[in-house]
Amino acid sequence: VRTLDEHALRQHVADELERVRERSAGLTTAVLDEDELLAQHSRLMSPLVWDLAHVGNYEELWLLRETRGDAAMRPDIDDLYDAFEHPRDTRPSLPLLRPDEAGDYLALVRRKVLDALGTTPVTAREDRPDPLRDHGFVFGMVIQHEHQHDETMLATHQLRRGTPVLPATDDLPAPAGPVVAAEVLVPAGPFVQGTTDDPWSLDNERPAHTVDVGAFAIDTTPVTNAAYLAFVEAGGYDDPRLWTTAGWRWRCESGKRAPAFWFRDAGTWLRRRFARVEELPGAEAVQHVCFHEAQAYARWVGRRLPTEAEWEKAASWDPVTATKRRFPWGEEAPDEQRANLGQTRFRPTVAGSYPAGASAYGALQMVGDVWEWTSTVFTGYPGFRPFPYPEYSEVFFDDGYRVLRGGCWATDPQAVRTTFRNWDHPIRRQVFSGFRTARDA
C-alpha cells in the first residue's frame, strides 16, 4: 500500500473490505443454519454469530465513530460485543443479534463506510484520526481484524461436529522433493527486529530495533506428524524429564497423550478435520499442539524452541544486503508457489514444500502452513507505544502468553508478514499451531 496514490488506495481498501466480508460469509451465513450459528461448539470459542457481529461492531467503532465522529448506531449492543466484558464461554447466554439481524447490521455499517470512502474526504473533523492518513492504516487494521476473526471461526469449525460444510481438500500436491538439509545455520550477528515503516503493521510489531543474535541452527521445515508421532509412541507423554514444571502439570491435569483431534483406531492413527475423519498424514506439518507439547518434543530430540528473535532473523534477514524482507522470499506478495496461506487448502502442506518461498538462510515454510510456537513471552519491544488502543496488545503483556509466528494455512496474506506477532496461552491447542526446533551453534 506504500506505493498507492489516494485513488488507488481507496480502491484497494474497498476491494479488501469486500474480499474479507465474502470470506466471513463463507464461514457463517452461507454454510450454517441459524441454530448452528448461535450454538456453542466448544466452551473455548464464541458462537459464530458473535464473531460475525463483533467484526461489524469493530468496523463501526473504528471507521465511523472514532474517525468520523458518528454517533453509535446501536448503543444497546456495544457491550455485547466487547471481548473484555464477556468471556467466550458466557457469550451464548447473551441476548446476541440473531444471524439475520447481524447480517443487516453488518450491511448497514458497510454501506456507510463505503459511502464515506468513495465520496467525501474521510476526515470529518480535525481532531479525529484520518483513516486514509498513513496509507490507510485504520482501514488496514479493520481488514486484518476481520481476517483474524475468520481464522478464529475456522478454529470453531474444527471443534464443531456434524455434517461437514467445508471443502474436503484431500488432494494435496506431491512433495516438492526431499529436503536437502534438516537444519539451516544462522551465523551470529545483529539484525533488525520489528518494523517502523510497514504501513499496516500493528503496534506490537513496532518499532524496528537492532538485536544481536548468537549463532544458532533452526529446522529447515516445521516438525511433521510422523516425527511427532515418534515422540508419542516413544512414551514422550509419560516422561516428566522432558517437560517443564508447568508443562508436566498441564500434561497431568489435562490427561492429554497426543495432539488435539488425533485418535487411534485398531492400530491406525486418525485425525478429525472439519467434521471428517482421515488417516494421519505423516509428511504434513503437525498442528494443534500447545506450547508445552512443542517444548517437550524439542527436548526429546535434544533441541529447544527458537526464540522469537531467532525465528524472525531466520525468516526475514538477508545477510548479503543486511536488509529485512517483508516475506521470507522478499517483498512480493505471497502466491501459490511460495506459501500455504489464505484458507485455500484447509490444512497444512507437506514439510519441504514451497522451495520458491525459502528465506535467505534457506528455511522453508516460515510463513504459512502452521503458526510456530517460540520460547518468547509476549511483551512490547523497546519503545513500544500502544496504538491506537491498549486492548489490542498491551493488556496481554502480563507474562501469560507465548509468541507464535509466521501465520498458518488459515491466515490471509493481508494479515501476516515476517514481523507479525501472534500470542496465546501456553496450553492452547485449538489454534493451528505447530513448531520447529532450534539449537545453539
Q: Cβ closer to ligand AVJ: 191 or 423?
A: 423
**Rounded Cα gap, residues 273 and 160, in angstroms:** 10
Does residue 428 have a known ligand-binding role?
A: yes
At position 50, the amino acid (one-letter code) is: W
Residue 423 C-beta: closest distance to ligand AVJ, Å: 5
Strand bridging mode 438-440 / 216-219: antiparallel
Q: Cβ closer to ligand AVJ: 248 or 392?
A: 392
Task: Kindly state the cell numbers that stand for 345.
Answer: 487448502
Instruction: Using alpha carbons, select from 48, 24, 3, 113 the residue that is nearest to residue 343.
Output: 24
Does residue 149 have a known ligand-binding role?
A: yes
Residue 422 C-beta: closest distance to ligand AVJ, Å: 5
- 3-class DSSP assignment, residue 185: strand
Exactly one of 29, 152, 287, 359 binds ligand AVJ (CB under 6 A); that residue is 152
Enumerate residues 6+ apart whose C-beta is below 8 A from 315: 328, 359, 363, 366, 367, 405, 406, 418
Residue 329 C-beta: closest distance to ligand AVJ, Å: 24
Q: Is 148 in the site for ligand AVJ (CB under 6 A)?
A: yes
Neighbours of 398 (CB within 10 A): 10
Does residue 436 have a known ligand-binding role?
A: no
Binding to ligand AVJ in span 398-437, by CB under 6 A: 422-423
**Rounded Cα gap, residues 11 and 151, in angstroms:** 25
Is 113 in contact with 63 (CB distance < 8 Å)? yes
Q: Cβ closer to ligand AVJ: 292 or 428?
A: 428
Does residue 418 have a known ligand-binding role?
A: no
Residue 222 C-beta: closest distance to ligand AVJ, Å: 19
40-66 burial code (b ≥16 CB/10 A, e <16): bbeeebbbbbbbbbbbbbbbbbbbbeb
Residue 100 C-beta: closest distance to ligand AVJ, Å: 24
Does residue 209 have a known ligand-binding role?
A: no
**Rounded Cα gap, residues 162 and 367, in angstroms:** 32
Q: Cβ closer to ligand AVJ: 135 or 149?
A: 149
Stretch that binds ligand AVJ, among 67-75, 141-149, 191-199, 368-376 (CB under 6 A): 141-149
Stretch that binds ligand AVJ, among 135-143, 145-153, 184-192, 207-215 (CB under 6 A): 145-153
Does residue 429 have a known ligand-binding role?
A: no
**Phi and psi (nearest 5°) for 233?**
-75, -20
Q: Cβ closer to ligand AVJ: 1 or 45?
A: 45
**Rounded Cα gap, residues 321 and 304, in angstroms:** 29
Give the count of residues interacting with ligand AVJ (CB under 6 A): 7
Binding residue numbers? 54, 88-91, 145, 149, 424, 428
Binding residue numbers for Fe cation? 54, 145, 149
Binding residue numbers for gamma-L-glutamyl-L-cysteine? 88-91, 424, 428
Provide the binding-site residues for ligand AVJ, judged by CB under 6 A. 145, 148-149, 152, 392, 422-423
